[in-house]
Amino acid sequence: MIFKIRFLTLFATTSLMLNNVVAGDRQLRGARSLQEGDTDPCNDLPGSRTACTTLEDLVAELKEIIPRKGDEYNRPKTTTLEDWQKVIGQMLEGQCRQIDLDNYPGLNNRYKLYRFVDTKVIDKPKDYCVFTSTATKKMNNVDRAAYAWGTFITRIRQPDETIRIFNLSIDVPHPLADSNTYEQGITIYKYSQARSMYLAGSHRETDPEESDCGKYNKADASHNYQHPLTYTTMAVEEYWNSKGKDFAVIQIHGKDTDTCQSSDVFVADGAADKMGKSQNPGTIAEKFKESLETSVSSYTTLNIDTLKSNSNCNLGATQNIQARLINGIKEKSNICNFHDKSGNGQFIENPNGKFLQIEQSSKVREDTGLRELFGDAIRNTFDDPKYYRTE
28 pLDDT exceeds 80?
Answer: no
Q: Whole-angstrom Cα distance, residue 94 to residue 239?
A: 11
Taking phi over 0 as left and psi of -120 to 50 as alpha, with beta for the rest, 136 belongs to beta
Q: Which of 12-21, 94-103, 292-301 comes out lowest in average pLDDT?
A: 12-21
Q: What pLDDT score does 122 carry?
A: 64
pLDDT above 80 (res 25): no
pLDDT (0 to 100) of residue 17: 36
What is the number of domains present in the chain? 1
Return the axis-axis angle of helices 369-381 and 283-296, rounded to nearest 10°. Answer: 140
Q: Identify the pLDDT of residue 174.
A: 98
pLDDT digit string, tens, across residues 316-333: 999 999 999 999 999 999
Backbone angles phi, psi at 70, to 5 degrees: 100, -10
Q: Give the chain's mean pLDDT.
A: 89
Confidence band for 161, pLDDT divided at 50, 70 and 90: confident
Domain range enclosing 177: 2-389
Residue 247 CB burial class (10 angstroms; 0-12, 13-18, ≥19): buried
The pLDDT-based confidence of 97 (bands split at 50, 70, 90) is: confident
Distance spanning both ends of the chain, measured CA to CA: 37
Residue 6 has pLDDT above 70, yes or no: no
Q: What is the pLDDT of residues 199-212, one digit of tens each?
A: 999 999 999 999 99
Quick one: pLDDT band at residue 390, thresholds 50, 70, 90? confident
Tell me how far apart the alpha carbons of residues 282 and 222 are, in angstroms, rounded to a whole number: 20
- Res. 33: pLDDT tops 50: no
Looking at residues 363-377, what average pLDDT do you find?
98
Q: Inform me whether the pLDDT recorded for 35 exceeds 80.
A: no
pLDDT above 50: residue 11:
no
216-252: per-residue pLDDT in tens?
A: 999 999 999 999 999 999 999 999 999 999 999 999 9
Rounded to the nearest 5°, which phi and psi values hold at 93?
-75, -5
- By the 8 A CB rule, do 217 and 224 touch? yes
Predicted pLDDT of residue 107: 97
- Cα separation, 300 vs 293, whole angstroms: 10
Distance CA 19, CA 271 (A): 45
H/E segment holding residue 290: helix 283-296
